[in-house]
Amino acid sequence: MRILLNGRPAEVEAVTLAEALARLGYDAGGAGVAVAVDGEVVPRGSWRSRALAGGERVEVLGATQGG
């Protein structure tokens, strides 16, 4: 299915948000990662059960260290 990932089209063969994140190379269990789908933040505890549909906008934000 095709989604928008951080504003760019991406093809994912996944059913849940957690599966999509893993297949796209994100550490779904890692600290400092936040995800929103269609503008709504998805709590980390819901990533494994949150189903994805084609055309959804997924924004992945990661905290970075430094100054």
pLDDT tens, 13-51? 878 999 988 888 887 676 788 999 999 999 999 999 999
CB of 57 closer than 8 Å to CB of 3: yes
Q: What is the pLDDT of residue 16?
A: 93
Q: What is the pLDDT of residue 50?
A: 95
Choices 3.65.10.10, 2.60.40.10, 3.40.47.10, 3.10.20.30: CATH for 2-62: 3.10.20.30
CB 52, CB 58: distance < 8 Å: yes
Residue that has been written with the tokens 């997924």 in this structure = 58
* Contact by Cβ (8 Å): 16, 2: no
pLDDT for res 28:
65
Element (DSSP H or E) covering residue 4: strand 2-5
User: Which residues, other chains included, contact 46 with Cβ-Cβ below 8 Å and sequence gap of 6+?
Assistant: 17
Per-domain boundaries in the chain? 2-62
